[in-house]
Structure 1
Amino acid sequence: MDKNKEYMQLFMEAIIDEIDVGLHVIDKNGTTILYNKKMSQLESMDSKDVMHKNLLDVFMFSKEGSTLVQALQNGTETKNSKQTYFNNRGKEITTVNNTFPIKNGHEIIGAVEIAKDMTKIESLMKNTIKGRSGTSYTFDSIIGEGSAIKNVIEGAKRATRTTSSVLIVGETGTGKELFAQSIHNGSSRSAAPFISQNCAALPDNLIESLLFGTKKGAFSGAVDHPGLFEQAEGGTLLLDEINSLNPNLQSKLLRALQERTIRRIGDTKDTPIDVRIIATINEDPVEAITKDRMRKDLYYRLSVVTVFVPPLRDRTEDIPLLIQRFIRKYNELFQMDVRRVDQEVMDMLITYDWPGNVRELQHMIEGAMNVMADEDTIRFSHLPMHFRSKSFTRTSSSAAPFEIHFEEGTEDKQLKEHLERTEAGYIRSMLKKNRGNITKTAADAGLSRQSLQYRMKKLGIKA
C-alpha cells in the first residue's frame, strides 16, 4: 500500500509538471507548497527560490495585489483575470489566471492559481504597436475631446462589461474597427483571440467556408479546417461590412448566434462556440433592411448594443488633435521633424467635408509629409492636387498669392473646366514663384517632373 502511494505521488508530480498551464499552490500561511515546471518557466524562477517561501517575499504585486492572496484571505474566486507583477529579479510577468481558495469545510486552508502565459503576447503587442503605430487598439487610442466622440466612447466602454453582440454603425473611414478592438481589449475576453474579417472582401462560397470551416471530403480538395468561429473561441469575432453578406449566409449566421453552435461545411455534427460577435455596417441599418441588404431578425440579434460612430464632418473640433497624432506617427516612421500645419491649411482642413473621414485625413497628412523636404510646416503646396483644386482662392505667406476669378455666368459650366482653370492658375503661380524652374515647381506641387510637364502641355502652359 505504501509502495502504491509512493507510485501515485510520482505519477501526480510527473503529470503536474507536464501540463501546459502554470500551477501555484500556497497554504494558509501564504507559503508555497506546490509549484510546477510550467509556472517556473512563466515566472523565470527556479523552483527552489519559490518553494517553502512566502509568496510576498518572492514576488512584488501592484496595488491591486495578488489574486492568490485574495483567494486565501477573502475566499475570492477569479476567472480569466489578467495580472501583471514582478519576480525577485525585477522581471515583469503577465499571466491570465483562474484562482480559487482551497477549503476544509468552511475553513480556507490554502489557495491555488492556474496561470496561462501572456508575457510573450504582451511583449509582441507592444513591439507591434511601436513598429506599426497601433495594430491593437484600446480606448486610449481614440482621439477626440468633442462631446460627439466622447459620448460614443462612454457608450462603447459600457459594452466591455458584457458579452452581448455589438453593432457598430458608421461611414467608411470613421474608425469602426478601432472601436471594436477597444471593446475587445477592455473586456474579460482580452486575453483570447480577436479575429477580424471583411465580409465584402471574398465571394460568398469562400466566406462561408472561412466562417464555419470545412470537413474533409465536403468537396474536391476539402480538408478538416476550423473556421473563424472556432479560431476565435473564447474571444471576439469582428464581421466588417455585415450588410455585404447574402441573405442565405445571414440566415446561417443568425442560426449560429442563436444556437451558439456552428456546423462545418460537409459535417453532420454541430460544434458549440463561445464567441462574442461585433459587426460593423457602413450605412443606415434601417435603409439596409428596407433595401434587403440586411435581414431584420439578424439586425435585432446583432444590435443588442449599438454604437454610432460620427463622421469627421460632425466632429471638426477634433481635427487639430487628429492631425497632431498623425504628424507624430509619420515623424517617427519617416525620421522627420514636422511640427505644425500652416494656419491657412488648418482652416481649409476644418471646413472640408471629409467624405473619407478620419482615414482620408490620415492619408492626406501622410501624403503631404511624403513630398516635404526639410520643412517643419505643412503648407498648401504639400497637399494633394485633388484637394488643392477645391480651393479657388488662396493667400499664403510662403508663396506668391494667387487668385482664380470666374466670369459671371460660369457657374453652370462643367466641373472639369473649373478644375482645369484652377490647376492652370496654380501651376502658373508656382512657376512664377520658382522663376520657371520645372524641378523646383514639381517638388513644391508634390508632382514628378514628368507629371508636371505633361500637365503643362495639356493646359498650354509654357515655362
Structure 2
Amino acid sequence: MTVFVVDDDADHLAALCDLIEVGGHSATGFLHAKDAVAAASDTPPKAILTDLRMPGMDGMALTEAVAALDADIPVIMLTGHGDVAAAVRAIQAGAEDFLEKPYDAQHLLSVLNRTLRAQATRAELARLQSELSQKSDSILGESAALVKLREQISAIAPLNIDVILTGETGTGKELCARALHAASLRATGPYIALNCAALPESLFELEVFGHAAAAFPGAIEKPGKLEAANGGTLVLDEIEAMPMQVQAKLLRALQERHIERLGENRLRPLDLRIIATAKTDLRQAIAENRFRADLFYRLNGAELCLPPLRGLGPDITLIFAHYANLAARLYGRSAPDIGISLRRDLQRHDWPGNVRELKTAAERLALGLGPSVPHVSQAQTLPERIAEYEAREISAALDRFNQSVERAAQSLGIPRRTLADKMARYGIKD
C-alpha cells in the first residue's frame, strides 16, 4: 500500500521511508506538506505519516487540507514530547492517530498497519453498501423460487402500481421493497417506511396523515408519512396491524390521491407508490373482519409471496456463506470454512426466523462463536453417508500432505481435477 511521508528533516524522512518499505509498503517522501497535499489530490495514498512542526504548512494544516479532499486518507501525526496537546487537537481535527518522539520502529509499523486495515475495512464496507443499494437484483440465490421472484420484481418495478409483499418474518420483505423502489421510475424520490405494528393506535392518524399547527394544544405543523413520500415510495410494514378506522381514511386518500392534514381544510395532492408488507394472509384477516377487503384490492396492483428459507435447498448455504463472508471482512477475520456436516445441518434446519435467523448464525460463525445451528440427528441416506465419508477422507489426506492437492490426489488414486471438484462440492479449502 502507498504511504506518503512528510517531514522537513531530509535524513529523518529518508529513514522513515526506508522503515515503511521494510514493513512491506510503498513509501513516497515529501519535504513540504503542500506538495504532499497536491499529490494526494491527484492520486490519494492509503495513509499519510507526517511531522507536526514544519515550516510553512505544518501537520495540523495538512490534516485539515487532507480532510477537505473527501478521500478518506488517514493521517498519523509524529510529535515531540511537548506537543501532545497539539496532537490531541489534531485528532479532533481528523487525524487518525499520533506517535510521540522518540518512537519505537516496531510500534510505528504496528500503528501504521492497524490504520491501513481500518481504512481498508471502511472502503470495503462502503463498496458493499453502495453495491447493494444500487443493485435491484441483490436478492441472492439460484433456486427456481428466487429466480422467479427476481423476474417478478424486474417486471413490476417500472409499473406505476401499488404492491403487496407477503411472507413469514425474516423472508426479506424489506429487501424486496427496496429493490422495487431502486428499479422504479421513482428511484430518485424518497423511500419512507412506517412500521404499523410498532405504532400506538392513538398516533396512527397523526403519523400517516400529519397535522396542522394548533390542531391540538402544543401542536406544530408536521407532514405525515403519505406526504413525506410524495414522488417516491411509502412502505407500510405489517399493514395487518393498522386500525380499521385508519384503513378507511387511507383507502379514501389512495382513491382520491389527496390527503387532508388533521386540523386543516386544504387538500394536498399525492403522487406515490404504496408497498404494503404482511407476515400473515390478508385474505384470512379479511375473513376475520380485521382488514378491509376494499383496501386490500386497492393495494393489490400486484402481490408477491416470498418463499420461506427452509424451502430454498442449496441456496441456504449460499446465503449463509454470503453473510459469513461479509461479517468476516467487516471484523478483519478470514472467511470461515463451511464443511459438509454444517451444510447438511443448514439445509435440514427449519429456520423459523428465516434469513434474519440465518444471518445471525452466519455472523456467529465468522466471529468464531459457532453458528448456533442445531445438529440434525435424523438418519442419513446412503448418498449422504458416502459424501460424508469422502469429505472426511479427503480432509485427512490433505492434512497428511500439508494441504498439497497434487499429493493428496495421488494418495487417493484419483485425478487432481476430480479431487478439486469434490473439494469444491464439499466446501473443503486447500
> With structure 2 as the length reference, what TM-score do the two structures score?
0.57
Structure 2: which amino acid aligns with 1:383? Answer: P
Please, which of 241, 246, 249 is the counterpart of residue 244 of structure 1?
241
Partner of 1:362: 359
Match of 1:388, SS state, is coil
Partners of 1:170 and 1:283 within 8 A in 2 = yes
Partner of 1:338: 335
Cα distance change of structure 1 residues 133 and 292 upon mapping to structure 2, 3 Å threshold: farther
What fraction of aligned residue pairs are identical, expressed as a percent?
39
Partner of 2:309: 312
Cα distance change of structure 1 residues 166 and 129 upon mapping to structure 2, 3 Å threshold: farther
- The whole-number CA distance in structure 2 between the counterparts of 1:131 and 1:362 is 16
- Cα deviation for residue 193 of structure 1 reads 0.6
Structure 2: which amino acid aligns with 1:153? Answer: R
Partners of 1:129 and 1:135 within 8 A in 2 = no
Partner of 1:280: 277
Structure 2: which amino acid aligns with 1:165? Answer: D
Partner of 2:374: 388
Please, which of 243, 265, 270 is the counterpart of residue 267 of structure 2?
270
- The whole-number CA distance in structure 2 between the counterparts of 1:153 and 1:245 is 28
Please, which of 113, 136, 146 is the counterpart of residue 143 of structure 2?
146
Could you report, residue by residue, the CA deviation over 1:123-150 in whole angstroms, capped at 9, with x for unpaired residues?
xxx9985476877363321001011111
- The whole-number CA distance in structure 1 between the counterparts of 2:130 and 2:324 is 12
- The whole-number CA distance in structure 2 between the counterparts of 1:361 and 1:199 is 25
Partner of 2:198: 201
**2:309 matched to 1:321?**
no
Partners of 1:128 and 1:134 within 8 A in 2 = no
- The whole-number CA distance in structure 2 between the counterparts of 1:176 and 1:371 is 29
Match of 2:176, SS state, is helix
Partners of 2:125 and 2:330 within 8 A in 1 = no
Structure 1 residue runs of 4+, over 6 Å off? 392-397
- The whole-number CA distance in structure 2 between the counterparts of 1:238 and 1:127 is 29
Partners of 1:193 and 1:234 within 8 A in 2 = yes
Partners of 2:336 and 2:366 within 8 A in 1 = no
Partner of 2:228: 231
Cα distance change of structure 1 residues 138 and 282 upon mapping to structure 2, 3 Å threshold: farther
- Cα deviation for residue 227 of structure 1 reads 1.1
Partners of 1:166 and 1:279 within 8 A in 2 = yes
Could you report, residue by residue, the CA deviation over 1:364-417 in whole angstroms, capped at 9, with x for unpaired residues?
111222334xxxxxxxxx132xx43765899999xxxxxxxxxxxxxxxxxxxx
Partners of 2:168 and 2:308 within 8 A in 1 = yes
Partner of 1:84: none
Q: From the two aligned structures, give the one with the greater helix fraction.
A: 2
> With structure 1 as the length reference, what TM-score do the two structures score?
0.53
**2:163 matched to 1:175?**
no
Partners of 1:129 and 1:136 within 8 A in 2 = no
Structure 2: which amino acid aligns with 1:248? Answer: Q
**Equivalences, count:** 263
Q: From the two aligned structures, give the one with the greater strand fraction.
A: 1
Cα distance change of structure 1 residues 267 and 244 upon mapping to structure 2, 3 Å threshold: same
Alignment of 1:27-426 (within 5 A): 130=127, 136=133, 138-372=135-369, 382-384=370-372, 387-388=373-374, 391=377
Partner of 1:40: none
Match of 2:164, SS state, is strand
